[in-house]
Amino acid sequence: MKTPPSIFWFRRDLRLSDHPALLDAVERGRGRVVGLFILDDEFLAPAGATRVNYLRASLEALATQLNGALVLRRGDPAVVLAEVVRETRATDVVVTGDYGPRGRARDERVARALARAGATLTVVDSPYVVAPGVVRTKTGSPCRVFGAFRRGWQEQSFTAPYDAPREATFERVASLDFTVFDDLPAPLAPPYFGELSALAPAPIGPAGEVAGLERLRAFTATVGAYDQTRNLPGVDGTSRLSPFLRFGALHPRTVLRATSGLNAGHATFTSEICWREFYADVLFHQPDSTWRVLQPSLASLKIDRDARAVERFQAWALGRTGYPLVDAGMRQLLNDGWMHNRVRMVAASFLVKHLHLDWRWGAKWFMWRLIDGDLASNQHGWQWTAGTGTDAAPFHRVFNPTLQAERFDPDGTYVRRYVSELADVAAPQCLQPGGGTGLLRPADYPAPLIDANHERQEALARFAQARADAAVAS
């Protein structure tokens, strides 16, 4: 009798090259592999339609690479995998490790279900250059601060990228069936989203490994200047690789190999990739950090949650705060499903420190709209900005949205691109609250929702109170 194939269960690794887990599956199946993706409603719940559309496009790209030999199913992975094992007589299921809290729990459950069905789940590699949990301090504890993590991370031996499998046959178990994407349940929107949850998804950009490699090749020509351009949202100065990394169309090993070099641009870029790995490591060690404030002294910070807070949240999400850089960023998120990192920081800081809202509200909205929405990077990016994270910007440092605009978008290129009401207003006026004052102010652009100086003082007062409360409690 013919040896059964192995099953390769694709998750956040939708590519063929630099893929040691896939190579392992090819070896176990003696060249014959069933490539499987399972659409799991539970995992789609926090994602708005934009990211789901991007997932679909990434799977279409993968299916093209496999000449259509991709099995798509929908349901509980433990049940689906047991079925596919029965259908194919496979005894080996191989995956790339998932280090998120839900993914880990799911994989334990799946391993037990597979054991009952007479098969084994083998975990190979991770979506990171160094798997979460590996880097430790000198005393063996998890790293709490980025500097210590980066030192430990750089001391690891980095593996070179792997070639794509040669001589592998992907089994055509059933015809390719994208109807699994039909009738998905509506994602769970929190009440403060209100009508926002019905907004149309953003159009998606190129997806899949071939497009990712193309983008990577283009970026290698400019990475040397990355340290100069990465903070300028009006310039195409960052890699825009985050969606490809999110869905594993590229592995960061491939990205680091292609962007390595000796100048400050290369070093800064490597450091940013390391932030991604740091946040995955923090999440691995502290799975509840997705929603729990990591700074105990800020746990009691006064946050607004009343009807006016909801109105302010919605104005922020729609890019209608009257602060041009914040609004440009929020409209970029609405229009493109992506936002520049500098503006993510400014917009997040504005929500927490000027509007006095819960960072978790903002984090949920980002996860809803971002194509690259990633639990570890998003939640900890928010905790960093809110001052509540493990290695966060201090709470009392408040980004001034106007000064940030003047510094990082001095000619208003970015603001004018996304805020149509300001398209014809010259800098520096287009960078000012309300787009300027008096007769110069464009009538159709919102007046400032709040007074940033006043609300900054309010934030600092709330911070002082939270610290005083924490001191009494300890």
Ligand X SMILES: Cc1cc2nc3c(=O)[nH]c(=O)nc-3n(C[C@H](O)[C@H](O)[C@H](O)COP(=O)(O)OP(=O)(O)OC[C@H]3O[C@@H](n4cnc5c(N)ncnc54)[C@H](O)[C@@H]3O)c2cc1C
Chain residues that interact with ligand X, rule: CB under 6 A: 230, 238-242, 245-246, 272-273, 275-276, 279, 341, 344-345, 348, 366, 370, 372-374, 377-378, 381-382, 385
Our CB check for ligand X shows the closer of 227 and 469 to be: 227
Smallest separation, CB 380 to ligand X (Å): 7
Our CB check for ligand X shows the closer of 78 and 131 to be: 131
Our CB check for ligand X shows the closer of 121 and 459 to be: 459
Our CB check for ligand X shows the closer of 52 and 173 to be: 52
Q: Which residue has the tokens 């559309």?
A: 53
Does residue 428 have a cis bond before it (omega within 30 degrees)?
Answer: yes
Smallest separation, CB 218 to ligand X (Å): 12
Let me know: does 66 contact 35? Beta carbons within 8 Å.
yes
* Partners of 8 in the β-ladder: 35, 94
Smallest separation, CB 169 to ligand X (Å): 33
CA distance 75 to 90: 19
Half-sphere exposure for 9 (CA within 13 Å, toward CB): 29
Our CB check for ligand X shows the closer of 322 and 381 to be: 381
Residue nearest ligand X, Cβ-based:
381
Let me know: does 14 contact 210? Beta carbons within 8 Å.
no
Our CB check for ligand X shows the closer of 240 and 417 to be: 240
Our CB check for ligand X shows the closer of 14 and 63 to be: 14
Our CB check for ligand X shows the closer of 251 and 312 to be: 251
Smallest separation, CB 99 to ligand X (Å): 14
CA distance 364 to 372: 13
Sign of CA dihedral 266, 267, 270, 275: negative
The rounded Cα 196 to chain-centroid distance in angstroms is: 20
Our CB check for ligand X shows the closer of 146 and 445 to be: 146
Name, in order, each residue with C-beta under 8 angstroms of 44's C-beta and a sequence gap of 6 or more. 52, 184, 187
Beta strands 169-170 and 32-39 are parallel
Smallest separation, CB 211 to ligand X (Å): 14
Our CB check for ligand X shows the closer of 378 and 432 to be: 378
Name, in order, each residue with C-beta under 8 angstroms of 187's C-beta and a sequence gap of 6 or more. 44, 45, 46, 47, 48, 49, 197, 368
Smallest separation, CB 395 to ligand X (Å): 15
Smallest separation, CB 411 to ligand X (Å): 21
Smallest separation, CB 124 to ligand X (Å): 22
List the alpha helices (DSSP H) in 296-447.
Answer: 307-317, 324-336, 341-349, 359-369, 375-386, 401-408, 413-418
Give the gyration radius of the chain's Cα atoms.
23
Nearest CA to 358 out of 336, 385, 339 is that of 385
Smallest separation, CB 221 to ligand X (Å): 14
Return the beta strands (E) in 11-166 as ranges: 32-39, 71-74, 92-96, 120-124
Smallest separation, CB 290 to ligand X (Å): 12
Our CB check for ligand X shows the closer of 98 and 372 to be: 372
* Partners of 38 in the β-ladder: 73
The rounded Cα 158 to chain-centroid distance in angstroms is: 23
List the alpha helices (DSSP H) in 251-322.
Answer: 252-259, 264-285, 307-317
Nearest CA to 252 out of 358, 146, 158 is that of 158
Smallest separation, CB 44 to ligand X (Å): 16
